[in-house]
Amino acid sequence: MKDIELKLDSLEIHPNSEIKGTITVNYPGQYDGVVINTQILDSNELIVYKSYNGQKISQNVSRLFISKDTMHKNKVDFTAVIEFKPKGMHEVKFRASIIEQHKEIESTVLFAKFAA
């Protein structure tokens, strides 16, 4: 079992549709939380995170830090959206990392497809 796992409900993403995902931490040591970064390859556009563990995020964020204190059983569910309409197909790189005292301990990467 990996120290950190990242799963999306679907690896096919469309404009303005909700992206749902889960991060699970199996790391046996101490950590402060997790951070998820997303990059839409061949684009300057951003993904916007909307909620985690049912709590709405009040401002638009494209990089999300989630404290261990808010993670039930070392797991977090999140939602996000990509609001622009692409002219073609893009790969979207999701990267989730375990953070301890501002240092990355472990990470995982997942790719999805984004098209109209």
Total-model pTM: 0.93
Structural domains of the chain in order of their starting residue, each with its CATH number: 4-114 (2.60.40.2410)
**C-alpha atoms less than 13 angstroms from C-alpha of 95 in its C-beta half-sphere:** 13
Identity at 1, one-letter amino acid code = M
User: Is residue 1 scored above 90 in pLDDT?
Assistant: no
Q: In the prediction, which pLDDT does 47 show? A: 94
Distance from first CA to last CA of the chain, Å, rounded? 35
Structure-block tokens of residue 16: 């303005």
- Give pLDDT tens digits for 12-26: 999 999 999 999 999
Q: In the prediction, which pLDDT does 30 show? A: 95
Q: In the prediction, which pLDDT does 58 show? A: 86
Cα 86 to Cα 27, 90, 93: the distances in Å are 37, 8, 16
- Give pLDDT tens digits for 34-74: 999 999 999 999 999 999 999 999 888 889 999 999 999 99
Q: In the prediction, which pLDDT does 65 show? A: 95
- Give pLDDT tens digits for 66-115: 999 999 999 999 999 999 889 899 999 999 999 999 999 999 999 999 99
